[in-house]
Chains A and B, each alone.
Chain A
């Protein structure tokens, strides 16, 4: 534990995980909004919107996240000159958020779409029968019921997103995996404690999150 007794190393460890949490937080919110919109598009009566949603999902679900993040940095920033902040680290952070949220929104969309499938057909039929439009049917009747059945998949997506946030290290943000690499390289005698601290922090964050979402999903599950 002598490695983490050094305040420089300890601060690096904390800042690495703060980046992970910030990446996860911002990307989760953006991915949730885009993902629900995409799901609404994919079930809408307008063919162009359905096609757009399907294309988005098929492109981003089948591309490695590393390539997406790589493209955000070297394509959007270096080649096309899209700069989101004067500060180098913040720029990388926002480019990482763009990559993570476009990628994750494809999975959110698919989770919401299969959630819509769990709502019995009678619900939507009854909504149509009392004269609700497509937007009203979706907003007032179907989505609130679907929301309760997508909690478990959302939990898995959030956990995967938090782990995927380490991939933003590819473009030079000093998040926890890069910090761990540096600490290992400068402290070859304490490799296992370093790894256990970093891996243990992720496990301590994510395993309870998994159980929490499992509990929440069971609690809110619609008993049919």
Chain B
């Protein structure tokens, strides 16, 4: 539903004139703001060609940006696979009929959703080496931290997805003699996964952004290599931060668009699982909405 059209009347001549005047006024204000930022940057000599020139050289890309991007994608990829596994296991655990499985699984999920990711990563990177008497690489500190947090979020999403499937599905499966394990695995999970696909992809955006926390434990990902190390060489921290931000924005916009497309596609399917909509139904649990991540994790 386009909100734009119902909140105001179709503009007549006066409204059109007023909107045009407002457009011009705000346009000028916006240009003024941009010009002010431009002059501030200019005063700090941030537009000097020598700061931007490194980005035209292939060595900058092959030495700094592309290895950083690869490390970011690698951590995000491994993290996503592990989070999915974690999410499936713990959503099943939480839906178990045995209280001695469902209560601990619920506690684990609630705990890891409430603990800041940075705190987890610090614990794994600085604390766990004392416990296992050996080093933990930055890569695994980041990946395990991402897995525990995003896996817990996905576990909640899967649980909501499984519960949104009409009870006739599992009743029919039980009626033909399937066991609980088979009902979950063969009947409920595949349907829930399809209904939850947009949320899974938008969680991937969250996960990809969170890999930037690897910078804090010196994991050589995009922020570390592309902004920190690159600007240490060329002294162009603002230019580098802008270029890297654009790379993040492009990748994440593509993923968000993909999530929206999946959502659209599952909406037009003839056979569709009625999903819980509305904020009341998704209270706190699923980062739902129109295929976009609502929860602003790092």
A and B associate: yes
Contact B248 A181 (CB under 8 A): no
Q: Mark B1-33, 1 if CB is under 8 A from A, else 0.
A: 101101111010001000100110011001000
Mark the stretch among B89-97, B109-117, B176-184, B262-270 that contacts chain A: B109-117
Q: A113-B3, A164-B296 are in contact. Are A184 and B126 (CB under 8 A)?
A: yes
| Residue B53 CB within 8 A of the other chain | no
Q: How far is the CA of A81 from the CA of B238 in the complex (A)?
A: 13
Q: Mark A183-224, 1 if CB is under 8 A from B, else 0.
A: 011001101101100110011001100100110011001000
| Residue B73 CB within 8 A of the other chain | no
Q: How far is the CA of A150 from the CA of B6 in the complex (A)?
A: 20
Interface residues of B (CB under 8 A from A): 1, 3-4, 6-9, 11, 15, 19, 22-23, 26-27, 30, 40-41, 44, 46, 110-111, 114-120, 122-123, 126-128, 130-131, 205, 209-213, 215-216, 223, 227, 237-238, 241, 244-245, 248-249, 252-253, 256, 278-280, 282-284, 287, 289-290, 292-298
B contact face: mostly helix, strand, loop, or mixed:
helix
Q: How far is the CA of A157 from the CA of B223 in the complex (A)?
A: 24
Contact A66 B213 (CB under 8 A): yes
Q: Mark A77-92, 1 if CB is under 8 A from B, else 0.
A: 0111100000000000
| Residue A156 CB within 8 A of the other chain | yes
B291 vs chain A, min Cβ distance (A) = 11
Q: How far is the CA of A206 from the CA of B209 in the complex (A)?
A: 22
Contact B237 A79 (CB under 8 A): yes
Contact of A48 among B15, B23, B213, B248 (CB under 8 A): B23
| Residue A59 CB within 8 A of the other chain | yes
With a cutoff of 8 Å between Cβ atoms, the chain A residues found around residue B41 in the complex are: 80
Contact B114 A202 (CB under 8 A): yes
Q: A152-B282, A166-B116 are in contact. List 8 more A-B contacts (CB 8 A).
A: A62-B256, A80-B238, A107-B296, A114-B289, A152-B284, A166-B118, A195-B127, A206-B114
A157 vs chain B, min Cβ distance (A) = 6
Contact A163 B297 (CB under 8 A): yes
Contact of B116 among A43, A185, A202 (CB under 8 A): A202
Which A-chain residue is minimally distant from B128 (CB atoms)? A191
| Residue A170 CB within 8 A of the other chain | yes
With a cutoff of 8 Å between Cβ atoms, the chain A residues found around residue B111 in the complex are: 199, 203
Contact A62 B123 (CB under 8 A): no
Which A-chain residue is minimally distant from B205 (CB atoms)? A62
A169 vs chain B, min Cβ distance (A) = 7
Q: How far is the CA of A63 from the CA of B248 in the complex (A)?
A: 6
| Residue A26 CB within 8 A of the other chain | no
| Residue A64 CB within 8 A of the other chain | yes
Contact A75 B296 (CB under 8 A): no
With a cutoff of 8 Å between Cβ atoms, the chain A residues found around residue B115 in the complex are: 163, 199, 202-203
